[in-house]
Every structure is written in C-alpha cells, then in structure tokens.
Amino acid sequence: MKNTKKVSELSRENTVRFMPPPVSWFQQPAGFVPARGSVTYPEGFLSSGISAGLKKKGLPDVALLVSEKSAVAAGCFTTNAVKAAPVVVCRRHLANPIHAVLMNAKCANSYTGKEGIEDALGLLSDLASFFGLHRKNFMVASTGVIGERLPVAKIRSSLSGLVMHLSHQDTQAARAIMTTDTVEKTAACRMKISGREVRIGAMAKGAGMIAPRMATMLAFATTDAVIRRPLLQKALDEAVGLSFNRITVDGDTSTNDTILCLANGTAGNREITAGSPGYRIFLRALTWVCQQLAWKVVSDGEGVTKVFEVVVEGAASRQDAVKAGRAVACSPLVKTAVFGEDLNWGRIVNAAGYSGAAFDPSRLDLWIGDVNLLRKGRLARDRLAAADRIIRKPFFSVRIGLNNGKETDRVLTTDFSYDYVRINADYRS
C-alpha cells in the first residue's frame, strides 16, 4: 500500500494548525494593522468564560460577551433547513440594540422544538435581569450535540459567575466555546478612520461539521467603530463570502452556524458610510479577521493532516468557478487521496466534471503547486514525480484552468484521515 501512515501517527497533536497560513488566502493589510487580541480588543467590550459542569474536568463551557454600550448587530446564519433554537432567537433579536451574547458548548439546543426556544429565551430573561434590561437586547449561541434539551439549571446557576468574571483581558471565552477544537481561535486588528483608532476583535470555534454554506459553527466579531446596522450587515456579508463561505472540512453544514458582529461606536470616529475611504478600510480589515479565523478553523479540522487550496481559473462565471472548486474540495475521494499522499489526479478531474461547471475536458489545465500536470487535457508524465513531492507537504495548492472564461474563485479544504472517522464515530458518547 502506498499509504504508510498509521493511526497512532495521527494524534491531534500532529495536525497542520501551527503552520503559517498561506499569503494567497488573505486580504493583505492595507490601511490596517494586525494585532494580538480577541473579542475584548475593541474598546467597550468585556467577556468571561467559566465552567457550568457541561464539559468534563471542569473545563470552561459557558461564555458571555458584553458591550458596555448597546451595540448594533449584524449576523449570518446557517442555510440548513433545520435551524437550532439559538439561531431562531438571534434572527428575531438582530434588529434590536444588543448588550450581550450568552454562549454554551456541549449542547446545541437544536431540533428541540418550541421548548428549546423557550429554554433559550428563559435564560436570556435571567441574564437580562442582571443588567436591568429586556431579553430582546441579548443573543444566545450554542454548540454541541443535536437533539438534547439545554441543561438550563446548570447554565442558569453559572450566570452570576459569568457576570462576576467579566473582564477586558479575558482569555477564557474562546476556550469555553470549543468542542473538538484543540486550540482557541482569535484574531484582531486596528486602523485609523477619520483620525480615530478603530479596532476589530474576533473569536471562533469549529473543527467539524464545516461546509461552505455559512459554516463556522460559531464566530463572534466586535468593533468599536461608529457604523449603522445595514452597512455593518453589508460588510459582514462580504467578509463572510470571502472567508467562511470558502472553506470546507467535511461537507456538513451545521444547524447552529452563527456569525455575529457587534459595533458599539466607542471609538468615536466619524460615521462610516457606504463607499467612503473609511468603509473600504473597515471592510478590508473585517475580511482579514474573518479569513484568519477561517484558516484556523480549517487547519484545526477534525483529524486534519493537510490543508490544500483549490483555485479554479478561466471559468465562464463566478458560479461555475465556485461549483468546480467546491466539488473538488468536498470530494471524499480527493480528500482521502490527499491524506494518503496518492497523486490520483483523475479524481480531481472527475470532481470538476460532475460539478456542473461548463468546460471542455480537452482544454483542461491542472497544476499541483507550481507543476503543470495537465495542459489542454494532456498529461505531462515527466512531471508526475515533481507533483508527487508537492502533495506530501502540509499545505499546497490545486489549480484548475477551465479555459472557458475569465472568472476565478478558490476554496480552502482539508484531507480526510483515520482520525476524522475516529473522532466522529463516538462524538456523542
């Protein structure tokens, strides 16, 4: 057998998560500066994370994110027809001024009917009482097992501790929302808008059930920028389109996928308006932050040993480029071949062929890294050895030239390993 890897070699300590991300994947900094931080990096935000007894060993499993001033909120949510109770609640509350977000791991509160919605709203009512506000000014997010009711009593008993431990320097919130994640995922940056420093901070969780249809499981971004909700939503939609909607680990879209972005205006900048230089900088910065988190989600994917980028060029339309890229990126046959370091290039061509993208197979080009393996449909056999060396790397690119137009798109994906099966075979137990 070509694949000589053993299960014992595939511990979660042996993933690619510590590898520097590929420059090609990111919006390059222009007008903003990357920084170290999380959701409390912008002014006026606090967070906390403690144990409510949902996870084993006393690990943090509930988290709270608070804006000292009421914030405007934008959100992107799962496209799954089965939407978890917290997604339903967030969509209802999105247009309201938002003061805080309550989060929990271990229980998704999904497919729990009206009782699940009542559980979520009840906890928000309890939380709102600590601040003298109404539950409509709060949001909730959950992740974990589908089909189980929230452990309301445990979470309710943790609320006072969450409020008590709120801090501008909190490091536990990002850990509290982790499930099969092995590392917390955060990103931050700063910029100048109308002479004032504006900051963006974010955190995310996600390692499995990641597919390119608004998929991260959970992500939260904060900013102290002055910006109105409709424009914030526009910016988030664009940023998500170039980040979370261009990744896949296993092709499964969660019932709980939620990205929230809160803006509290504490920076005091002149209001960001559509088409202004400030908006262009803000959009670039928000996109970069989302791409940082998306990279961390993929590289910490369940059982992942390799990350590869599928770039489709020369498509007749952007839709065709996306179709072909996603088909290759989601193909179990491609992903297992990458894991086994088996240069089975025919599986890539096959996936592009059934994607629905329009192209003439006799004109297809294929690169593995910088090795042009297929040119106008003809295999360069003398380059097989060079391409074989490339797929042994922890990160590489697959570039497909359809030669049927001028559109390009890209998807970031992973291999499928033995460990992915092991992790998901006993996830519930």
Residues involved in catalysis? 216
User: Are 291 and 243 a contacting pair, CB within 8 Å?
Assistant: yes
Q: 113-131 and 152-164 helices cross at what angle (nearest 10)? A: 20
208 band by pLDDT with thresholds 50, 70 and 90: very low
DSSP 82-148: S--HHHHHHHHHTTS-EEEEEEESSB---S-HHHHHHHHHHHHHHHHHHHT--GGGEEEEEBSBTT-
pTM above 0.85, yes or no: yes
190 DSSP β-pair partners: 33, 199
Q: Within 13 A of 74's CA, how many CA atoms are on the CB side? A: 21
Structure tokens at 72: 């405007």
Mean pLDDT of 264-270: 98
**SS3 for 1-39, per residue?**
CCCCCCHHHCCHHHCCCCCCCCHHHCCCCCCEEEECCCC
Alpha-carbon dihedral of residues 119, 120, 121, 123, nearest 10 degrees? 90
The residue written with tokens 């570039």 in the block is 399
Q: Within 13 A of 218's CA, how many CA atoms are on the CB side? A: 31
Q: For the chain, list the domains and their CATH numbers.
A: 23-299 (3.60.70.12), 307-425 (3.10.20.340)
252 band by pLDDT with thresholds 50, 70 and 90: low
pLDDT digits (tens, 9 = 90+) for 28-65: 888 999 999 999 999 999 999 999 999 988 999 999 99
- What is the predicted pLDDT for the residue at 426? 62
Q: Is residue 8 scored above 50 in pLDDT? A: no
Give the C-alpha separation, 323 to 301, whole Å.
22
- What is the predicted pLDDT for the residue at 424? 64
Give the C-alpha separation, 187 to 189, whole Å.
7
Mean pLDDT of 296-319: 89
Q: Is residue 14 scored above 70 in pLDDT? A: no
pLDDT digits (tens, 9 = 90+) for 129-149: 999 999 999 999 999 889 999
Mean pLDDT of 282-298: 93
